[in-house]
Amino acid sequence: MIIIIDEVLAVMNIEQLVTTRRTIKKFKADPVDEALFMKWLQAASLAPNHKMTEPWDIIFAGPETRGKLKHKTDFGGAPEVMAVTVKHGKTDLETVENTAAVACFIQNFMLQAWDEGVGTFWCSLGASKAAREVLGVEEGSEVVGIIAFGYPEEIPAIKDRISIEDKIKKLP
């Protein structure tokens, strides 16, 4: 896609960004500049969300908190770890919509990071009651994912996927 912003031509290839992104399980210790990841979080907040609920909150886990989470590989040594939570809706449908919006938020963040050479790892550890307690997740919220991020130590090869044709159902 080619867009013009402030009279500057920018060439973006979203297909390449999406198809080259990988789950990173081993990170370098090099820190990620906070201004950089705050920019990604701001961009991620443009995720679609029903009725502009913006149902996400972010909790950054420092070294002490990470230790209490007891992840089997300490998140691959990533320099940054954050939990992204969703607020329950007033109805079951609103909760589903909110969770979908938070998943979009996380994907936006991950793609922004990858575009800058920073890898991510989405972990479901936050779904446990113990992890929610360690993270201080508020009543009426759940952890959608714990995202570790940093500069990749190694980038794995793409894994085989089921053909999309096998996932499509066409109705008359």
Q: Give the pLDDT of residue 9.
A: 46
- On the question of pLDDT at 6 being above 90, the answer is no
Contact 159, 92 (CB under 8 A): no
Q: pTM to 2 decimals?
A: 0.90
Does position 143 have pLDDT exceeding 90, yes or no?
yes
Rounded mean pLDDT, 113-123: 95
Mean predicted confidence (pLDDT) in 153-163: 92
DSSP string computed for 82-125: EEEEEE--SSHHHHHHHHHHHHHHHHHHHHHHHHTT-EEEEE-G
Predicted pLDDT at 91: 96
- Domains, the chain, with CATH or none: 34-152 (3.40.109.10)
152, 32 Cβ separation under 8 angstroms: no
Contacts of 121 (CB under 8 A, 6+ apart): 23, 24, 25, 75, 76, 78, 147, 148, 149
